[in-house]
């Protein structure tokens, strides 16, 4: 297998990665055949996966614009993936020159590609770290250099928590991040769920099995379980809803049925 010029040395390009599979669903070019193969396998069970990722992206853009409208111009995007077109820094910087963004991911391809995209942008940085170790993120020179944690920050956890199993205690990691943020900070979150998917749980379970087989288990949680991640935040209207129903630009009814899979919400720290 030939290693493309953009692929960092030392990564095993024979193993699929969730951030590169996500990139493939969004029509990006930073993925390998092994990622495309896993994506196509998952789509045999759940053909609407690209639609779900597009709905995630569209929600993220609306939520970032909402944050800037509320005067929050600092963004900490954990599990940021590969920055394809219309990513957080582009949306945030277009909305305000004040915007500062720190991307965090533990996939070496996502980190290397983010560095290339952000080269020369002094208002954005990328950090190689894991959501399961919040203190490493909070204590990093990247966060210290760009974000003032004494002022409100928008914490983005978009399509990432469902890759953290209960035994790794994602609840505690989210609580630790909450405690480090100033009052007025926002949490912007999406999470996969069997609720809303236009398939039976058995059919959707086939796609979940593909992720398990590539050692990136996809943890489907109920609306009630997802709501617990907002502990310590007041929900912003319209609450925890399917992605197209969160402050849509156009009538949500025009969306593809798959876009309603899972939940999205924004919370504000009092």
Q: What is the pTM of this model?
A: 0.95
- What is the rounded distance in angstroms from the CA atom of residue 158 to the CA atom of residue 137? 17
Instruction: Set out the domains of the chain in order of their start, with CATH numbers.
Output: 49-202+220-269 (3.40.50.150)
Average pLDDT, the chain: 94
Give 190 or 7, the one with higher predicted confidence: 190
Residue 119 CB neighbours (<10 A): 7
Strand order across the beta sheet in which 100-105 lies: 124-128, 100-105, 74-78, 154-158, 186-191, 263-269, 233-235
Tens digits of per-residue pLDDT, 103-121?
A: 999 988 889 889 988 999 9
User: How many other C-beta atoms can be found within 10 angstroms of the C-beta atom of residue 174?
Assistant: 25
Kindly indicate the confidence band of residue 1, based on its pLDDT and cuts at 50, 70 and 90: low
């Amino acid at each position: 297998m030939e290693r493309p010029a953009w692929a960092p040395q030392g990564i095993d390009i024979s193993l699929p990665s969730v951030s590169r599979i996500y990139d493939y669903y969004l029509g990006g070019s930073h993925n390998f055949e092994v990622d495309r193969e896993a994506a196509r396998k998952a789509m045999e069970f759940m053909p609407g996966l690209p639609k779900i990722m597009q709905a995630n992206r569209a929600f993220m853009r609306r939520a970032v614009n909402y944050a800037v409208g509320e005067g929050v111009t600092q963004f900490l995007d954990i599990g940021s993936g590969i920055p394809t077109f219309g990513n957080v820094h582009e949306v945030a910087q277009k909305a305000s020159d004040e915007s500062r963004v720190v991307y965090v991911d533990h996939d070496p391809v996502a980190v290397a590609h983010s560095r290339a995209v952000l080269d020369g942008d002094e208002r954005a940085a990328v950090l190689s770290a894991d959501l399961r170790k919040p203190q490493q993120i909070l204590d990093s020179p990247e966060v210290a250099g760009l974000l003032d944690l004494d002022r409100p920050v928008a914490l983005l956890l978009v399509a990432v928590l469902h890759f953290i199993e209960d035994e790794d205690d994602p609840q505690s990691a989210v609580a630790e991040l909450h405690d480090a943020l100033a009052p007025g900070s926002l949490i912007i979150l999406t999470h996969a769920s069997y609720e809303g998917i236009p398939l039976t749980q058995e059919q959707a379970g086939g796609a979940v099995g593909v992720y398990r087989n590539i050692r990136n288990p996809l943890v489907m949680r109920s609306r009630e379980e997802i709501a617990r991640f907002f502990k310590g935040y007041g929900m912003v209207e319209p609450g925890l809803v399917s992605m197209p129903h969160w402050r849509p630009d156009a009538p949500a009814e025009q969306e593809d049925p798959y876009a309603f899979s899972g939940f999205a919400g924004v919370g504000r720290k009092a």
